[in-house]
Amino acid sequence: MSASLDKGVRVLKEMIDAPIASYFSSCVHCGICAEACLFYTETGDPKYTPIHKLEPMRRIYQQEYTLLGRLAKMVGLSKSVTDEELAEWQELVYNSCTLCGRCSAVCPVGNDIVYMVRKMREGMSAAGHAPEGIKGAVTRTINIGSPMGVKLPAVKAQMKHIEADTGIAIPLDQEGVEYMVTLSSMEIINFPEYLGAIAKVMRHVGRTWTLSSEAFEATNAGMQIGNSDLARVIVSRVVAGAEKLKVKTVISPECGHAYTALRWEGANLIGRPFTFKVQHIVETLEEFRAAGLLKLEGMETDRLSFHDPCQLARRGGVIQPQRNLMKMVAKDFVEMPDAGYMNWCCGGGGGASSIEEGEELRLEAFKRKKRQLDAVKPDRLVTACANCRIVLEEGLEHYKMNLPVVGLTETIAEHIPDPE
Amino acid sequence: MGELQFLTWVRGSGLNLALTIFVVGVLWRLIEIYGLGRKKDLSASRSTPGASGWATILRRSLPPPGMLPASPVSYIGGYVFHVGLAVVVFLFAPHIALLTSIAGVVWPALPSQVVDFVTVVTMAAMIAVLVDRLFKPVKRFLSTFGDWFTWTLTFLPLLTGWLAVHHLLLPYTLMLAVHILSVELLLVFLPFTKLFHAFTVFGSRWFNGAVNGHKGVPV
């Protein structure tokens, strides 16, 4: 057994807890999870059945934690997990799983399959079987500070542009303000309109906020690859930044997994509860709306639909707020089939979009999104995740669909009246 | 061993042995699984009505929207044979009489013609799910020896019971003994095969619901 395989198996063993033992013991091989997975429904290949993606972990569970499994292993009746096997499973655990959680939502015996995939990735990355694309993103985040290699000067340059465009000063490192706004690299590089929209919203509602020079990046490739040690290092930057500036709330950007990393995994990664609140920007906007602070003008007249990011809706519990906000600005708002809790993934979440060799499969899986969109034919698609947005744009271009994709925050900000 | 001796053994020592393995096996497996525990979640919870472990235990008994057409045989066949099994096991007069003799409990039985009909329907549903397993690519792909084995273990008590009641194939005494033996085999293997989902299904649904309930997601 190679050292890395040994480590991988040890980590997988450590990952197994009562829920995982219960899940593996409950599976009746009904295959219903496959029907919920876009990688199966769009390819028809049974190897993409979600529970099958966990087969090496299941065997380790059986061999290490059950009496009969231990006996079978002792007398040589069950085979150990091999390096070749884990190499083969890399495609199943990363390329063809976006951690979207539809499988966990439909399993009749209640198995939270994506909870297990997240843990399985810990073992896979320890064994050295993670895709180069995500490895690169992790390395850049650890060494440079962001998965796309964005450094503070790039943020500062964007701040300057936005200040020039909007005439609003972007606060940096201001202590004692209410909100610390974090970003995803994608927003810094591709969608700077997000930061401009935040500036407009905050001025409109009269709340204090700041960016942090140490904690502007909210994404967490360490979580996506499945390395809790690195995920902890990355999330600790945000925690340190927020605590240093003594803010009440950290706003997670329009990014699905950054929200999961901060909102649900963060405290568990650092081993203590946060001293501040974490909100996705959609939740913050909803709070402003509910308090009557958003006094918007005008309505969009073209047909709009909303793509729910999996980590925000199904895995994050934020489902109604985006609809309330859409209805403030959209005259013709249409819901796609399965929208909301059971929405279909864009196909590139959970780190999948950074896997180059997974692109063909991703585009194949996008046919599901295409069908959803074809059913309601919107003129524009709104979402609240920069990664969904990029993946959607790639898919739409591939299938030659002329459909602009925009962010929810900027859509709201466009209806904020100019101050008198 | 004569037919009568065989029947006496399966009704006496055989049953005791099977019940002992079943009870010890179930307790052992429950401890083996749930004794592993889990880490406390340190993130701030958000509560939403209908989002909890208990809600999920109930809700997962129904197919989520849109899933029924995707796997109709699993759902409909599954319902029919699970409910059918419960009816046959717990509402057939001779079974209640046995439970009364063991545990002293008693409840009303269904007329035997009704139980007979339910048995046939249950067997038909089990054959349907077996055929589905053979021909539906995903189910075929996932299937292991355990799936065929546990199907047989579950089917045999139904078949032998029905044959015994109708005095078919074998002399009644022998068929009754074979029937009881098949139930004993089911009891012995239940804790150590996928049939153990009969117990863990509640724990699994609860964990899934509790994790999501913490996030305010009604799953």
Tell me: the pLDDT tens digits for A69-78?
Answer: 999 999 998 8
Q: What is the pTM of this model?
A: 0.96
Q: Are A373 and A403 in contact (CB under 8 A)?
A: yes
| Cα of A28 to nearest chain B Cα, Å | 6
**What proportion of chain A, given as a percentage, has pLDDT over 90?**
95
Q: CB–CB of B141 and A16 under 8 A?
A: no
Which residue type does A414 have?
Answer: E
d(CA B125, CA B135): 15
Q: How many of the other CB atoms lie within 10 Å of CB of A295?
A: 10
Specify the domain boundaries for CATH 1.10.1060 within chain A.
Answer: 3-130
Q: CB–CB of A49 and B141 under 8 A?
A: yes
Q: Which residue has the tokens 């698609």?
A: A381
Q: Are A224 and A311 in contact (CB under 8 A)?
A: no
Mean pLDDT of A148-175: 94
Instruction: Give the model's pLDDT for residue B212.
Output: 94
Quickly list DSSP for chain B: --HHHHHHHHHTHHHHHHHHHHHHHHHHHHHHHHTT--PPP-SPP---TT-SHHHHHHHTTSPPTTTGGGSHIIIIIHHHHHHHHHHHHHHBHHHHHHHHHHH----PPBPHHHHHHHHHHHHHHHHHHHHHHHHSHHHHHH--HHHHHHHHHHHHHHHHHHHHHTT-SS-HHHHHHHHHHHHHHHHHHGGGSGGGHHHHHHHHHHHHHHHHHHHT---
Q: CB–CB of B206 and A110 under 8 A?
A: yes
Q: Please name the residue of chain A whose CA is at the shortest distance from the CA of residue B54.
A: A110
CATH 1.10.1060 fits A3-130, yes or no: yes
Q: CA A154 → CA A31, A84, A166, A183, A284, distances in Å?
A: 47, 42, 18, 12, 26
| Cα of A88 to nearest chain B Cα, Å | 17
Domain range summary for chain B, segments of one domain joined by +: 3-30+70-213
* Distance between first and last Cα of chain A: 71
Q: Which of A29, A57, A223 to mutate to test the interface with B (most CBs of B within 10 A)?
A: A29
Average pLDDT, rounded, for chain B: 96
Q: CB–CB of B207 and A342 under 8 A?
A: no
Q: Are A383 and A358 in contact (CB under 8 A)?
A: no
**Chain B residues inside the 8 Å CB shell of A277:** 44
Higher pLDDT, B218 or B136: B136
Instruction: Tally C-beta pairs within 8 A across A and B.
Output: 177
Q: Which two tokens stand for residue A24?
A: 């593996």
d(CA A118, CA A23): 14
Using one digit for the tens of pLDDT, what is the confidence trace for A106-158?
Answer: 999 999 999 999 999 999 999 999 999 999 999 999 999 999 989 999 999 99
Mean pLDDT of B62-82: 95
CATH 1.20.950.20 fits B3-30+70-213, yes or no: yes
Q: Would you say residue B103 has pLDDT above 90?
A: no
**Chain B residues inside the 8 Å CB shell of A108:** 60-61, 63, 74, 78
Using one digit for the tens of pLDDT, what is the confidence trace for A193-244?
Answer: 999 999 999 999 999 999 999 999 999 999 999 999 999 999 999 999 999 9
Q: CB–CB of B207 and A106 under 8 A?
A: no
Q: Which two tokens stand for residue A168?
A: 């609003």
Using one digit for the tens of pLDDT, what is the confidence trace for B201-213?
Answer: 999 999 999 999 9
Q: CB–CB of A19 and B46 under 8 A?
A: no
Q: B36 in contact with A at a CB cutoff of 8 Å?
A: yes
Q: CB–CB of B33 and A315 under 8 A?
A: no
**Chain B residues inside the 8 Å CB shell of A338:** 65-66
Instruction: Give the model's pLDDT for residue A315.
Output: 96
> Which residues partner with A333 through β-bridges?
A304
Specify the domain boundaries for CATH 3.40.50 within chain A.
Answer: 295-413
Q: Please name the residue of chain B whose CA is at the shortest distance from the CA of residue A277.
A: B44
Mean pLDDT of B38-50: 92
Give residue A173's region: left, alpha or beta (phi > 0; psi -120 to 50).
Answer: left
Q: CA A186 → CA A38, A384, B109, B164, distances in Å?
A: 25, 12, 67, 70
Q: Would you say residue A420 has pLDDT above 80?
A: no
Task: Enter the DSSP assignment of A176.
Answer: T
Q: Would you say residue A1 has pLDDT above 70?
A: no
Using one digit for the tens of pLDDT, what is the confidence trace for A365-418?
Answer: 999 999 999 999 999 999 999 999 999 999 999 999 999 999 999 999 999 999
The minimal CB distance from A52 to the residues B36, B142, B209 is found for: B142
Q: Please name the residue of chain B whose CA is at the shortest distance from the CA of residue A265.
A: B43
Using one digit for the tens of pLDDT, what is the confidence trace for A258-277?
Answer: 999 999 999 999 999 999 99
Which residue type does B68 have?
Answer: L
| Cα of B37 to nearest chain A Cα, Å | 5
| Cα of B92 to nearest chain A Cα, Å | 27
Instruction: Give the model's pLDDT for residue B76.
Output: 97
Q: CB–CB of A17 and B36 under 8 A?
A: yes
> Which residues partner with B110 through β-bridges?
B92
- The interaxial angle of helices B112-135 and B145-165, nearest 10 deg, is 160
Instruction: Give the model's pLDDT for residue A186.
Output: 87
Q: Which of A14, A17, A22, A58 to mutate to test the interface with B (most CBs of B within 10 A)?
A: A22
Of A32, A98, A304, nearest to B66 by C-alpha is: A32
**Chain B residues inside the 8 Å CB shell of A278:** 44
Q: CB–CB of A29 and B208 under 8 A?
A: no
Q: CB–CB of B142 and A49 under 8 A?
A: yes
Fold topology of A295-413: Rossmann fold (3.40.50)
Q: Please name the residue of chain B whose CA is at the shortest distance from the CA of residue A316.
A: B215
Of A72, A59, A48, nearest to A13 by C-alpha is: A59
The minimal CB distance from B38 to the residues A18, A110, A263 is found for: A18
Q: CB–CB of B194 and A28 under 8 A?
A: yes
Q: How many of the other CB atoms lie within 10 Å of CB of A352?
A: 29
Instruction: Give the model's pLDDT for residue B49.
Output: 84
Q: Which of B28, B30, B32, B33 to mutate to test the interface with A (most CBs of A within 10 A)?
A: B33
Q: How many of the other CB atoms lie within 10 Å of CB of B27?
A: 11
Q: CB–CB of B78 and A23 under 8 A?
A: no
Task: Please state the ipTM of this predicted complex.
Answer: 0.96
